[in-house]
Structure 1
């Protein structure tokens, strides 16, 4: 079973994209658009303090009549974070994301952020695991 650390290594992204809690929602959205991601970590002094997602924007800015340029990320980010350790398995991560209805999962080694896994990363890994299993079964059957 693949671990969160292995999935992060396979992503070939060595930079964790983050924004300050004092940044405006507009600045965070611009960074997300530039990186083609759906959520961004909110870090203060190298400490993870929240996560800001497209869902946060839709529900806490647009629907509440706030402005992107006048609202700090800290005001609308998700404060209560669900995180996993680097040894969490694909199944554990998928189970947590499904149960809690989240799409992005930070991976922490103690207080150190290793990266973020998206639901897409997990689906991709699960498909690769299943393809491997099918190939092994086919080889067994045909040999």
Structure 2
């Protein structure tokens, strides 16, 4: 099973963030510019304050008729973000995102943000693992004589 550490090593650990006092419009612009669906929200000292996503924007700005220019990120972000560590494995993370109905997991070590994994990263890792196991089993089956069959 691939660990979060291995996922970050292969995809990189660059994380885009915004401060909690920034206007929501700035967060949306940054997400659009970077082609991403969420930003980590960091306090000035670098402490994880939460996460803000396009889903937060749709539900808490658009549907409530609020102004994205006048509303700070802290008012719509998810403050109690679910986090994982470097040694967590992809299936455990997949279970977390499925159960919690979330798409992004900040990776935190000793209180410091070190990366972010998305549901897409996890799906890719699980598929690669399953493909590896399938190929391994196919090679094993092809190399063994069939049960009850004697070699000449």
TM-score range, shorter-chain basis?
over 0.9
Higher-Rg structure is 2
Where 1:117 maps in the other structure, the secondary structure is: strand
What corresponds to 1:124 in structure 2? Answer: 124
Could you tell me the TM-score, scaled by structure 2's length? Answer: 0.90
Could you tell me the TM-score, scaled by structure 1's length? Answer: 0.96
C-alpha separation in 2, matches of 1:126 and 1:99: 17
Q: Could you tell me which runs of 5 or more consecutive residues in structure 1 were left unpaired when the two chains were aligned.
A: none
What corresponds to 1:140 in structure 2? Answer: 140
What corresponds to 2:106 in structure 1? Answer: 106
- 1:45-60 aligned at under 5 Å gives the runs 45-60=45-60
Q: Could you tell me which runs of 5 or more consecutive residues in structure 2 were left unpaired when the two chains were aligned.
A: 144-152
Structure 1 moving runs of 4+ over 4 Å: none
What corresponds to 2:64 in structure 1? Answer: 64
C-alpha separation in 1, matches of 2:35 and 2:11: 14
- In the alignment of these two chains, the number of paired residues is 142
CA RMSD of aligned residues (A): 0.9
